[in-house]
Amino acid sequence: MQKPAPSDETIFSKIINKEVPADIVYEDDLCLAFKDIMPAAPIHILIIPKKPIPRLCDATSEDKTLLGHLNLVANQVAEDAGIGEAFRLVVNNGADACQSVFHLHYHVIGGRNLQWPPG
């Protein structure tokens, strides 16, 4: 993994580099998953790629294997967290969609009945 340039650093890159602690529930060569510090549900896990991609719309065709991997990891962390098939997978893309950290991240949310529409 190539360390992000200082201009690319976010709280998530610092978690990847183990400069900031996190409650990590999954890690491999491509991504890392950890418990959200401000959970929206009893189970709220963030999955981040180790490659610094600011937003989903910044991903390229070269990232398609990585993006597929993130989805499979979402299934695994949901299963490991005990919510199996009952979870929501959310990606906020851009400030107008409430993305607050500009490092692509997936929210795995569950552990209670989720309402629709979400907001």
**What are the structural domain ranges in the chain?**
6-110
How far apart, in whole angstroms, are the C-alpha atoms of residue 111 and residue 43? 5
Kindly report the CA angle at 94 between 90 and 100, in degrees rounded to 5?
75
How far apart, in whole angstroms, are the C-alpha atoms of residue 7 and residue 70? 24
Q: Counting every residue, how long is the chain?
A: 119
What pTM was estimated for this model as a whole? 0.91
**Quick one: pLDDT band at residue 32, thresholds 50, 70, 90?**
very high
How far is the first Cα of the chain from the last one, in angstroms, to the nearest whole number? 36
Q: What pLDDT is stored for residue 118 in this prediction? A: 76
Q: Is 71 helix (H, G, I), strand (E, B) or coil?
A: helix
C-beta of residue 45 within 8 angstroms of C-beta of residue 111 = no
Which residues does 10 contact at the CB level (< 8 Å), separation at least 6?
Answer: 4, 52, 101, 102, 103
Q: What pLDDT is stored for residue 26 in this prediction? A: 98
Q: What is the mean pLDDT of the chain?
A: 92
Q: What is the average per-residue pLDDT within 79-102?
A: 95
Which of 96, 81, 12, 93 minimizes the C-alpha distance to 50? 12
CATH superfamily, with its number, for domain 6-110:
HIT-like (3.30.428.10)
Choice among 44, 103, 105, 107 that is catalytic: 105
For residue 105, indicate whether it is catalytic.
yes
Q: What pLDDT is stored for residue 119 in this prediction? A: 58
